[in-house]
Amino acid sequence: MAQPDDLVQARNLLKQLDLFDFIPKVSTPAEYGRYMIAESGRFEYDENLDEFYDYQKYGKQRMSQEQGQYVGGGYVSYHGFISIEEVLAGSETERMEQTLGGM
């Protein structure tokens, strides 16, 4: 994931901070999958079915479809329509929400 090289790029990035998600204490695909399924509020999670969820598989699948990386203390993902490099250059975009296909 691209990082700002100077204060202008950092300012451009801060103006678009709502395009990023930070999930604390996530360092593996399984932890990310568990967070998304059980804690994010995006799904109706049933703890009685916990043994049937494949957190590792879902975390890997989701990570392969988004721009993200592990950072100190968690995982950061980007959800804009343009590249991070364009955001750093000052272009603005809206947030892109990921949906499940075929459901």
Domain range list for the chain = 7-88
Query: Per residue in 59-74, pLDDT tens?
Result: 999 999 998 999 999 9
For residue 103, pLDDT over 60 is answered with: no
Q: Which residue has the tokens 């989701």?
A: 62
- pLDDT confidence of residue 100: 47
Tokens of 35: 């967070």
Q: Can you tell me whether residue 95 is helix, strand or coil?
A: strand
The Cα 1–Cα 3 span in angstroms is 7
pTM above 0.85, yes or no: no
- pLDDT confidence of residue 101: 46
- In 1-103 the beta strands, taken as DSSP E runs, fall at 20-24, 67-71, 74-78
The Cα 10–Cα 3 span in angstroms is 8
